Amino acid sequence: MPTLILRLDVTGRPLDWISRRAAALMYVRGQVAWEAGEQTFRMFGGTARITGLRSYLDINSIIAGRGTALLGSWAESTPALTNNGLFSRDNYLCMYCGGRFPATMLTRDHVLPRSRGGGDDWENVVTACKPCNARKDNLTIKEAETFGIRLLAVPYRPNLAEGLILQNRNILADQMEFLSMRGSGKRKRLD
């Protein structure tokens, strides 16, 4: 996965990941209001016929565009629920046995089973290894506890900043730091 550029709106709210080429176009069109990253990527253009010099553009790892897209809706916007995003949110840990597994061994478990009316949304799904998912079957948490199966952490809905962290597997340190300050780390532990 190539390095992506984190795009913000003019007030500093993270919007999305864009390619370096898309970022270059923003520079060329004068749409970059300010930069916030610590790294730059040099992109080369054509060679000027008169000077023989090659043109280039330095693209910052975090750029703010002009304008405020998504005004008002940003705080409520939720990243799409995908298995990869879910496994990342739960750090590839089974939320029942606490074991760490590769993605191929993990499943999306519905805390309140779908057959019992549970929704397919961030607040009702956790990462579970295949054996734990099979053991929990279509039990509610209360019922599962009688079989010694306990939920280790409450599932939560990531905000957009957290969602951006979950989306990009090739995130740069400065981008991670920027988004982490925006995320709120709402995870509650159950003890």
Regarding 126 and contact with Zn ion (CB under 5 A), the answer is no
At 62 the three-state DSSP class reads strand
Which residues partner with 16 through β-bridges? 7
- Closer by beta carbon to Zn ion, 18 or else 97: 97
- Closer by beta carbon to Zn ion, 17 or else 92: 92
Least CB distance from residue 99 to Zn ion, whole Å?
5
Regarding 132 and contact with Zn ion (CB under 5 A), the answer is yes
- Where in 58-97 is the site for Zn ion (CB under 5 A)? 94, 96-97
- Closer by beta carbon to Zn ion, 7 or else 136: 136
Regarding 111 and contact with Zn ion (CB under 5 A), the answer is no
Q: Residue 34 has which token pair?
A: 């300010």
- Closer by beta carbon to Zn ion, 51 or else 146: 146
What is the three-state SS of 91-160? CCECCCCCCECCHHHEEEEECCCHHHCCCCCHHHEEEEEHHHHHHHCCCCHHHHHCCCCCCCECCCCCCH
List interacting residues with Zn ion (CB under 5 A): 94, 96-97, 129, 132
